Structure 1
């Protein structure tokens, strides 16, 4: 499998918790599709204190995984939104 592109995309998005609307990440997203995974190396600003857990409402919004050999968060459907 191919590794993710080493050059980060120019488009930056803010990722929020769906339950309490608290900002979780500032992330360099590539492509136009929905948010399925977040590569840890593309997160520019992290607002969480615990891994994969919202600091406001303690909702688990993702799981840690290795995707194509790179550490990433696999998002749980409906738990986050971005703009």
Structure 2
């Protein structure tokens, strides 16, 4: 399979923890669907201390994985919201 386009889309979204509303990432997201995964190369600004764990409430919101040969974070359902 093909790797995701490294340049990625121009539209950015803010990703927040669903529990404490702490901002986690600013991310270049493509498409209109739900946030299922975040490719690490598309993260514009990272507000987390530990990967996949909210700095505010220490809740795990994502798991590290490889998707189409690129490192990514697979989001746990219902743990994050985006604006």
Counterpart of 1:2 in structure 2 is 2
Q: How many residues align?
A: 83
User: 1:6 Cα deviation (Å)?
Assistant: 2.5
Segments of 5+ residues of structure 2 without an aligned counterpart are none
RMSD: 0.6
TM-score (normalised: structure 1): 0.98
Counterpart-to-counterpart distance in 1, 2:34 and 2:5? 18
Segments of 5+ residues of structure 1 without an aligned counterpart are none
TM-score (normalised: structure 2): 0.98
Deviations 1:31-65 (A, max 9, x none): 00000000000000000001100001000000000
Mapping for residues 1-83 of structure 1, pairs under 5 Å: 1-83=1-83
Deviation >4 Å, runs of 4+? none
Counterpart-to-counterpart distance in 2, 1:6 and 1:47? 21
User: 1:7 Cα deviation (Å)?
Assistant: 2.2
Provide the secondary structure at the position in 2 that maps to 1:41.
helix
